[in-house]
Structure 1
Amino acid sequence: MEIAKLHTMTKLKIPIIVERSKIPGPTILLSAGLHGDEINGVEIVRQLIVQKINKPKTGTIICIPVINIFGFVNQTREFPDGRDLNRVFPGSKTGSLASRFAYFLLKEIIPHVDYAIDFHAGGASRFNVAQVRIVPDNPELKALADVFHAPFALYSKNINGSFRNSCDKLGVKMLLFEGGKSIDINEDITKQGVEGVKRVLQHFGMLNNRKKAAAPETKTIYIEKSSWVRAKYSGMFHGHTLVGHFVEKGSILATISDPYGKIEHKVKAPNSGYVINVNDAPIVYQGDAIYHISTVLAHE
């Protein structure tokens, strides 16, 4: 895919890897790099290609390891025009650079797709536990999330202008995978993403006979509601809580201190729940999001 060039007139081509079986079946899109700095998703799709998991027994698998090639080159979230690609869908043929990319994806690729898994990571220094996100009250997506079997699944509504929202309107069932943080590759997150895809392909009879999907060790925890804990003070951040762990209300999550050894503030859990995102930044400012904790589980 070639839509635009750099200001130096250098061509930027975005590879789209298509593998099709002779036996008819579903078409699945595996995409990453919608935000150019979310490298862990790119690594997941790369691993799927390297391990030849993208060669289906039936149907078709489309891989786009890096959608936002401009952001990937610069290791930034946005497009050169300053726009977040995941907020400009469905895009426009004559709009901004990001808008044109969104338009091309929806017009040229998505009409061929039945299911999609789009890989993301936490923004800035915030590390997401391996999770899938689906809209509530959608039995087919819930069943697909069960098959993928990430450690956590969050019910979240579609955001206007997002890739997921546009795919939903076009009838494409999408799982949004979140894991790790930007400008980082985490081996465990990569493994969770790869194994989840293998389970989905196996479910549809598409997984190559030479590949095996690992059986999940634990049950997926579904979260209906969650909330952010924000820093009440600025200072040096010392986190004591690991992502994915369950914390009790009132337990100490972290401390925020000044650099001179005079002040140390404790950060306590406002409620009991699972920690699904932690801030790994060494310095935080008042109001920064530092922990994301579940408040209501699906079975409650």
Structure 2
Amino acid sequence: MSRRRPRASFAIGTVKVRAGHAREVGLPITRLVTGADVSLPVHVVHGRDDGPTVWINAAIHGDEVIGVEVIRRVLTKVSPKTIRGTLLAVPIVNVLGFMNGDRYLPDRRDLNRSFPGSARGSLAGRIANLLMTEVVAKCEVGIDMHTGSDRRSNLPQIRCDVDDPHTLDLARAFGAPVIFHAKLRDGSLRYAARERGARVLLFEGGEAWRFDEWAIEAGVRGVLRVLAHLGMIEPVEDEPPPLSLICRRSGWVRARRTGILQMEANLGQVVTDDERLGGLSDSFGRRLRLVRANRAGVVIGRTEAPLVNRGDALIHIAEIEQENETPGQAELAEPSE
């Protein structure tokens, strides 16, 4: 009886990871003025059996820490001895921004507008090029983890190309409360990866510089569901993923006056047009104006700032194209407040 030929090692950077093994790899980025090297951390989980090659990344924006914790927890639940295929986990892409507590790189560039990058370009371009050549180019599917920015929190949601059936299948498998059809932006990781033939899910959930447990749990469960859907791991849940609301259009309710905000809208709340969602008052407590919905839909984002200026974005409402079986509140692990 002939023995099965072992799976080839996985090459990344100057390292080769044997089948059935996991390894942490540091891909060189730059050197600090102190002489210390800065590298892109990649955790390779290379299974014994053939299967898809998938990447998951977080902290393209340095202040978005929820995805870092999602990846940490996911890695505790997968083993190179049992996984089929290969998982590449990049917990911190914007290493310098992460260390400085800053959304952007030291030159103020937005890394998610710098893809596919260039090996001879700016610092942002070099990091983007490194991620594209060493990680994305070797994968068929990717999950890009994000959170709200600028004192905003987001409902756990998947942003993707809903019109691509295979991508939509992956998004449904993730099981987030909302699937939002998001157009591709030039310079984004999702755009560059799609040009290379990879299908990408962009996860949004929670607030920057916070470990919102309900968003972390939604992210962990979603990633594991996708890996199971691709046949890389055994399903971790007995029940199918919850149905998601499908949305294509959205808009922000903006402050009509400057004042102190009393927020009444919750993430995941399904609202009607002109429904009361909060109010604005002055420092003496006098009501200045009510905050009302400007469309019917589901609340997918909101500001967490108590003081707002006229024109500030307050509540993000997505119009529902396809209803869940139980509309009224998109499912959250924990309330948003």
Matched-pair contact (CA < 8 Å) for 1:233–1:256: yes
Letter in 2 for 1:88: S
The answer to whether structure 1 residue 221 and structure 2 residue 245 are counterparts is yes
- Structure 1 window deviating more from structure 2 (150-159 vs 45-54): it is 45-54
Structure 1 residue 263, shift from structure 2 partner: 4.1
**TM-score, length-normalised on structure 2?**
0.84
Identify the residue that residue 282 of structure 1 maps to in structure 2: 306
Q: 1:171 to 1:287 in 2, by over 3 A?
A: same
The aligned runs of 1:80-229 (5 Å cut-off) are 80-207=106-233, 209=234, 212-213=236-237, 215=239, 218-229=242-253
SS in 2 for 1:51: coil
Confirm or deny: 8 A CA contact 1:20 1:60 kept in the other structure: yes
Contact 2:246/2:320, CA 8 A, preserved across alignment:
no
Are the aligned partners of 1:224 and 1:298 in contact in 2 as well (CA < 8 Å)? no
* SS of the residue 1:41 aligns to: helix
Which 10-residue stretch deviates more, 164-173 or 260-269?
Answer: 260-269
Cross-structure match for 1:9: 35
TM-superposed CA distance for 1:247, in Å, is 1.2
The correspondence for 1:242, drawn from 250, 259, 266, is 266
Cα deviation 1:227-276 (Å, max 9, x = unaligned): 11111111211101101011122221111111123343110112221111
Higher strand share: 2
SS in structure 1 at match of 2:117: coil
Instruction: Return the offset for 1:13.
Output: 2.5
Would you say the 8 A contact 2:47–2:80 is kept in 1? no
- The one-letter code sitting in structure 2 at the alignment partner of 1:245 is Q
1:246/1:33 Cα in 2 relative to 1: closer, same or farther (>3 Å)? same
CA 56–192 in structure 1, closer or farther in 2 if over 3 Å, else same: farther
CA distance in 1, matches of 2:238, 2:247: 24
**Contact kept in structure 1, 2:59 and 2:91, CA below 8 Å:** yes
Q: Secondary structure at the match of 1:249?
A: coil
What SS does the aligned partner of 1:14 have?
strand
Cα distance between partner residues in 1 of 2:221 and 2:240 = 9
Structure 2 CA distance for aligned equivalents of residues 182 and 94 of structure 1: 31
Instruction: Measure the CA separation in 2 of the matches of 1:36 and 1:200.
Output: 25
What is the number of equivalent residue pairs in this alignment?
A: 298
Deviation at 1:79, TM superposition (A): 0.6
CA distance change for structure 1 residues 152 and 77 in 2, over 3 Å: closer, same or farther?
Answer: same
Higher mean displacement: 224-233 or 263-272: 263-272
Instruction: Write out per-residue CA displacement over residues 160-213 of structure 1, whole angstroms, 9 at most, x where no aligned residue.
Output: 000000000000111000000111111111111111111111112211x5x713
Instruction: Determine the structure 1 residue equivalent to 2:77.
Output: 51
- Secondary structure of 1:250 counterpart: coil
CA RMSD in angstroms comes to: 1.8
State the structure with more CA Rg.
2
Shift in Å, 1:53: 6.3
Structure 1 unaligned segments of length 5 or more: list them.
none
Whether the aligned pair in 2 keeps the contact of 1:19 and 1:56 (CA below 8 Å) is no
Residue from 273, 284, 294 that aligns with 1:270: 294
CA distance in 2, matches of 1:213, 1:57: 17
What secondary structure does 2:71 align onto? Answer: helix
Q: Give 1:9 deviation, angstroms.
A: 2.7
